[in-house]
Homo-oligomer: A and B are copies of this chain.
Amino acid sequence: MGAHPHASVPQTGSASFGGLPAEPGIGEEIFALAAEIYPICRSITGDGVRETLAHLARHIGLTVHEVPTGTRVFDWTIPREWVIRDAYIKNAAGERVLDFRVSNLHVLNYSAPVCARLPLAELKQHIFTLPDQPDLVPYRTSYYAERWGFCMAHNRLADLPDGLYEIVIDAGFRDGSLTYGEYLHRGETDEEFLLSAHICHPSLANDNCSGLALLAHLAKRLAGLRTRYSYRFLFAPGTIGAIAWLARNEHLVPRIRHGLVVSCVGDAGGPTYKKSRRGDAAIDRIMTHVLRHASPAPNILDFFPYGYDERQYCSPGFDLPVGLFQRSQFATFPEYHTSADNLDFIRPEHLAASYRMLATALDIVESDALLRNTMPRCEPQLGRRGLYAAIGGDSAGPQASMALLWVLNLADGRHSLLDIAERANLPFLIVREAAQRLQEKGLLVPVDACAAGEARPL
């Protein structure tokens, strides 16, 4: 029972968290928000992050934090803010052959300023291309080594004639702060579920916009619900943002019972779940279960210390139960970190499916429980209680029927609903529904109610 089901049954009553059913249009809403924030030029610091958070704040009551430049956060120091106004390369005719205003990917992210006239050969040393994907613009950064550079399609570079080019990167660095957004949905306990998305990539749709938009909408829908857990949403720049949050919130870390880093959730691939460092945390079991029942061939990966901010959450000094949820696995799809990771690459239906998987995970976290069969010796007579009849008319008949038998058989106070779902190889929600039916008939009680002699609804 690695899933740590509730020691006591949730005190949620009939107004409790009843799941987050996928509403019609949820995929479109998420997509619309992703499209809204897509054009913004984000980096690890600066106004791009603030502007993005302002968009998210239209949906949820976001708290925006500013961590001053120079602040020590563990082994790191908050860098200066990057300011970018314009960037271009002009040919001899004065035409912009590369223009930041067309795509913010064209400038090396966090590039130093430059203003010069250079021969092509020399300029090329500062231009990143993808020779194997010659029509795409790469996304490149240089956060911790000061240099300047451009990114462009290999074919466009190849087309440039020799000669002198005027180059301008009208950018700068200033003391300021690192910005991140935080939203806390308070549940009945202060045990927390952390949901974290990075907010430092410029116009990349799947790789940052999709996760930001999905989490914002998940938070929005949670807002109206009573939950057992508190849900903390974090929208922070990759690496340095997560490190800053951890450094400033060490007192909150012990509260984190479950966590997910969410990114690249809008494409058609996957789904992918990369386990936490622990490998057997409840969230690892839960996400494995959810993905196995959502997809015929999910990609379930053991932890490895490379990726998104699970690197920080799973560093050995924290070792938090935080996994990574994606559709296509990062760095394995050809659009990754290129101009092809645009709004055509993500689809409302994939965003909706990702939303449903997360919502199911929350369902499990909220409602997993230990139960006890009140008639444990031999099977109770189900027919007499209308439980066979009820099943007969169900479209989910055979599964529902088997779920009833499984719950009765394993509800011995030592198996949680998730344990039962796993052993029965049935979706958690089917098993929970069976448990609810049995509880209504008095055949099942939560373990603590068992002791107290009173049954509460699931």
Contact = CB atoms under 8 A, between A and B. Distances in A.
Contact of A317 (B311, B376, B383): B376
B376 A316 contact: yes
Interface in A335-381: 373, 375-381
B381 A75 contact: yes
A381 B247 CA distance: 14
A191 interface: no
A430 interface: no
A410 interface: yes
B402 A75 contact: no
A20 interface: no
Interface string A121-155: 00000000000000000000000110000000000
Interface residues on A, range: 35 or more
B74 A405 contact: no
A318 B377 contact: yes
A410 B316 contact: yes
Given A144-B383, A305-B409, A405-B305, A317 B75 contact: no
A40 interface: no
B405 A373 contact: no
A384 interface: yes
A242 B145 CA distance: 63
B74 A378 contact: yes
Contacts of A381: 75-76, 144
Contact of A378 (B247, B277, B412): B247
A316 B373 CA distance: 8
A424 B305 CA distance: 9
Interface of A: 73-76, 144-145, 239, 242-243, 246-247, 250, 277, 304-306, 311-312, 314-319, 373, 375-381, 383-384, 402, 405-406, 408-412, 424
